Chain A
Amino acid sequence: MSPGSLFPSALIEPAAARALAGGSWRSIAIDLLGRPPLAAERTAWGARPMAEVVDELCAGPEFWQNWLEEQLYYFLLIDNFRPETEGVTTLPAALAGGKLGVVEALHRICLSSSFDRRNPGPDTFVSVVMEQLLGITVQKVPRELEIGKKLYDGASGKFLGQAGSSQADVVHIAIEDPRAARHFLTREYQRLLRREPEPKALEAEARRLSAEPGAFPALVRDWFASPAYAERLTQRAPLSNRLFVRALFVDLMGRLPEPDEGQRIRSAMDGLADSRPLRALVARLLLDSGKVSLPERAALTDPEAWIGETFERLLGRPLKESERTEFLAAFADPACRPATVLYAIVSHPEYQTW
């Protein structure tokens, strides 16, 4: 174990201690940073133990920026409702610096004016706080909803067993409820490990998070060291539109989209139940824009090696024999450009999973 690592030795599985295949690094980077590895990272991480790299990533501001984006999306605080106030935009730095814990960060998000605008009126506001922060089905507890609405309007009452008398109190009380940490950890576990947490472990982790507000990165590291994450690495799931856009830019342009640019494209894709046609359109836009660094066809003296490397990089796996035959035959035709090869891969459903 590397010095300073927060991986508990007892939990380290072989996968956490050894170097991984390229496809796993792609998954880990998308899970933690919301993007595939950059070229320099692919080289640097290749031979390092997973635990060491995960430790490093969880300590950085990019991890927290990605975490914040996931939370804002969860609350649907996107597009016109995206919070731009300092209280929210400074969260990644504050979280990375250990000045704040995740539950307090959620508190700040829910107190933002964007959250209020997104959830106008007492019925909507209190329902969303109860549903999104605590995982409560409000229709099952209509009395609590009614009390919460009274607090929202400035009257005094006991909401979820605690006294309050304002809209802000609705949020304070919900955040301090033990269900808030449990619900947060459940949805983060589902997001990162693609399965339900074990109830006992969840209880212990929720207690730990309440006692140590800055414990979330350590919990993530534990999760990544577990057999459950090793199993998750063997599964593929569809990329969300946000992750797809970021992956596409990194893979084709070698950089992330500008925040505004990424947001606009993601928002357009969100408008389609099946966003594949628009994903394909955006991929073609980029490939035909002249802004993607593409090798000259004539310079590719070993097309098989280039196609194989492209498969490894974009799909995280080696080229299969049948694919090798078809791609090489197609590429032998002068009508096939390097951009055509890239387009075939990034517009295929497999590229849209990780």
Chain B
Amino acid sequence: MRRPERKTKRMLVISLSGGIRSRETFGTPANVPNLMRLAAQGVTYPRTRASNLGHFGATLSIFTGISEARGIRDNARGTDPTLFEYLRKDLGWSAGDVWISTSGGAQESNVSYSLHPEYGSAFGASSLDGDGIFNAEFKGILDAYGKPREMPPAEVALLERMRGSIGGADRALAEEAETSARVERFLLDELERGTQDLNGIGASDAKALKVARNLLAVFRPRFLSVVLRDADVAHSSFNNYVQVIRRNDEMLGQLLDSLRRDRELAETTSILVVPEFGRDADLNSRRGLDHGDGSDDFRYVTMVCAGPDFRRGEVVNEEVRTIDVCSTVCDLLGAEARYARGSRLPRLLS
């Protein structure tokens, strides 16, 4: 059967990872005016079930559509294909079409592709960790060594000739080199735009959202994901946790405004926002919030979807799962999440 033509040509998936309860988002609308605005334009799923897989495992499961236990500090790639790999392999998209912007450092870049024999690095997302790269310390390295000189075209050609001969010529390597050069340019530009100057509580998440906004403008990816992490400060401070939620909402607002100002992006981009899991029902002895009590506050989060093909202002109280994201996105964009165990979100399409 022929797949119906959809207006959605691009997708933005924001994983509010770090553990965020619905109580501090939809339960306290003043904290998240921009998320509320998005919800009013789309479909809200307040009964989205999450699993206690640790931050990394739970975040990974959103992108693989499979709930699988992963060590909390497991700094290794998963074995199940990710959303990025399904999209790139099935739709023939390049690395520049599929991006992930993260805030959690080394571990999170592992989300970008799996070790699955049919997929893997050849189909992975391009990834950028805002806090890892755009920090004042790294800018300091640039200041210490100076910016690289512009290479004249004649020298670039010689460079490519020599590099291309190492180990034998490879056309795929030449294409990768081109993407690589664009990313290299983006990194330098971003450092000049002052992304490293964002600081304070929630700065890593703010950088990830700002990088995402600029990636949209520069690379115009067909799929962009943002993975946040700073809300986990909640373990030791409830107030800081709320501050992170508010700051993220403000940055989300800037990202949405930037999307809306670009007519082509506005008309073709669908957005999905989901936490990886919630937090405990009660404060701990440090007046913070842990995660792992098995309560509904922990197990159920609220997911929001908005886009040109979706219903508007709808609340679906049916239980869905965070792992449904993978199958839903693949279905919308025309790929098949072969190994995912989630389902398409119900009552989403208009």
Q: What's the dominant secondary structure at chain B's contact region? A: helix
A122–B288 Cα gap in the complex (Å)? 12
> Which of B127, B128, B149, B291 is close to A288, meaning CB atoms less than 8 Å apart?
B149
Q: Which residues of A contact B218 (CB under 8 A)?
A: none
**A76-B75, A128-B72, A285-B146 given; A273·B113 CB < 8 A:** yes
The smallest beta-carbon distance between B181 and chain A, in angstroms, is 7
B54 at the A interface (CB under 8 A): yes
| Across-interface contacts of B149 in A (CB, < 8 A) | 288
CB < 8 Å neighbour of A121 from B125, B132, B135, B284: B284
Report which of A276, A277, A350 forms a contact with B166, defined as CB distance below 8 A. Answer: A350
Residues of A within 8 A of B146 (CB): 285, 288-290
B1 within 8 A of A: no
**Does B138 sit at the interface, judged by CB under 8 A?**
yes
Q: Enumerate A216-272 residues with CB–CB distance to B below 8 Å.
A: 260-261, 264-265, 267-272
Flag if A273 contacts B112 (CB, 8 Å): yes
Picked from B132, B176, B184, B236, the residue with its CB within 8 Å of the CB of A271 is: B132
Looking at A75, A276, A325, which has the most chain B CB atoms within 10 Å of its CB? A276
* Range class of the B interface residue count: 35 or more
CB pair A123 B163 closer than 8 Å: no
Contact residues, A100-156 vs B (CB, 8 A): 118-124, 127-128, 131-132, 137-140, 149
Q: Is the CB of B54 within 8 A of A270?
A: no
B138 to A, closest residue via Cβ: A268
Q: Which of B26-34, B102-110, B253-261 contacts A (4 or more CB under 8 A)?
A: B102-110
B161 touching A349 by the CB < 8 A rule? Answer: no
B140 closest partner in A (C-beta)? A264
- B166/A270 in contact, CB under 8 A: no
Q: For B186, give the chain A residue with the smallest CB separation.
A: A277
A45 in the interface, Cβ–Cβ < 8 Å? no
- Is the CB of A9 closer than 8 A to any CB of chain B? no
- Chain B residues with Cβ below 8 Å from A140 are 69
Closest chain A residue, CB of each to CB of B291: A123
**Are B236 and A268 touching (Cβ within 8 A)?**
no
> Interface majority SS on A: helix, strand, loop or mixed?
helix
A272 with B180: CB separation less than 8 A: no
Contacts of A120 in B (CB 8 A): 232, 235-236, 290
Chain A positions 317 through 354: 1 when the CB is less than 8 Å from some CB of chain B, otherwise 0: 00000110111011001011100110111011110000
Q: How many A-B residue pairs have CB under 8 A?
A: 194
- Interface band, chain A: 35 or more
Determine if B290 and A74 form an interchain contact, defined as CB atoms under 8 angstroms apart: no
> In whole angstroms, what is the CA distance A291 to B131 when docked?
28
A281 x B188 contact (CB < 8 A): yes
A284 lies within 8 A of chain B by Cβ: yes
Cβ B163 vs Cβ A344 within 8 A: yes
The CA of A337 and the CA of B133, in the complex, are separated in Å by 29
* Complex CA–CA separation, A122 to B289 (angstroms): 11
Q: List, in ascending order, chain A residues with CB within 8 A of B278's CB.
A: none
B36 at the interface (CB under 8 A from A): no
A-B contact pairs, 5 of them (CB 8 A): A76-B105, A120-B232, A264-B137, A273-B126, A329-B161
Q: Interface on A for B, CB 8 Å cutoff?
A: 73-76, 78-79, 118-124, 127-128, 131-132, 137-140, 149, 260-261, 264-265, 267-274, 276-278, 280-282, 284-291, 315, 322-323, 325-327, 329-330, 333, 335-337, 340-341, 343-345, 347-350
